[in-house]
Amino acid sequence: MCLIALAWQSHPDYSLVVAANRDEWRERPTEASAWWKDHPEILAGRDLRAGGTWMGVTKGGRFAAVTNFRDPSDKRTTALSRGNLVADYLLSDANPRDYLASLVPRAPQFNGFNLIVGDGKSLAYFGSRELKVREIERGVHGLSNHLLDEPWPKVTRARNAMEDALRKPQPAPRLFDLLSDRNVASDGELPDTGVGIAWERRLAPALITGEEYGTRSSTVLTIARDGQVAWEERTKDPAGGDTAIREFAFRVS
């Protein structure tokens, strides 16, 4: 993922609400959201090159999502796939803090990443640049390609939009509006991550368009306090239009 807005334990009906965009090179082969045939307890999309995923949930209510840490000076073709961190957590029975703590010695094997994991009882964050585990406090949070809650313009807009969506009886439509935001901040507001101003502008909106790179899918996940889970994924074309919609609903076992 490259943009995640989430609300943890801050709504009377939902323990967790997530709105996330996956930005990726369009040539990278991908399988849309589905129950995995080899691990039928996992609901997620799949990276067909390395086998992992960017975001997923399990029948038991485990959740995980990853974003890259943007730093072009630290990009190795020999690094392990970050998507496997999500899959490995979903397949494990470790609690969030223990799993993330186990990554401290292993983090250098990957290019820079941010990982959020939860088990229904707690939600935690680990960034490979900080090398420490953070318990995510109840409330609304945002994550892009820097540290959790870093106030990049699109992260701030996403958090504000999440708070607004949670005031509505049905937040999902507003959350997809959040994920479709094409607003570009002024140059003076943009971060300087080493990719050059042209790319900073391209990467500034929540929804990134373009023939070679951009938002491949938008996903909204809600986990209600009674255990009911709703997952909707909308895959995107280069212009930002929807090409398919996949919806899943189940109750945490």
Any domain includes 8: yes
Q: What is the pLDDT of residue 47?
A: 98
Any domain includes 50: yes
Q: Could you read off the pLDDT of 186-196 as tens digits, one per residue?
A: 999 999 999 99
31 CB-near residues (< 8 Å, 6+ apart): 45, 46, 48
Q: What is the pLDDT of residue 224?
A: 98
Q: What is the pLDDT of residue 135?
A: 98
Q: Could you read off the pLDDT of 217-247 as tens digits, one per residue?
A: 999 999 999 999 999 999 999 999 999 999 9
Gap between the Cα atoms of 151 and 156, Å rounded: 6
Among candidate residues 103, 188, 205, 191, the one with its CA nearest the CA of residue 150: 191
Query: E strands of 119-202, at which residues?
Result: 123-127, 132-135, 139-143
Q: What is the pLDDT of residue 74?
A: 84
160 CB-near residues (< 8 Å, 6+ apart): none
Q: What is the pLDDT of residue 202?
A: 97
Confidence (pTM): 0.97
Any domain includes 57: yes
Domain count, the chain: 1
Structure tokens at 222: 């809600």
Q: What is the pLDDT of residue 75?
A: 87
Any domain includes 253: no
Structural domain that includes position 39: 3-247
Low-confidence spans in the chain with pLDDT less than 50: none
Any domain includes 170: yes
Any domain includes 252: no
Question: What CATH number is associated with residue 112?
Answer: 3.60.60.10
Do the beta carbons of residue 234 and residue 186 sit within 8 Å?
Answer: no
Query: E strands of 73-165, at which residues?
Result: 113-118, 123-127, 132-135, 139-143
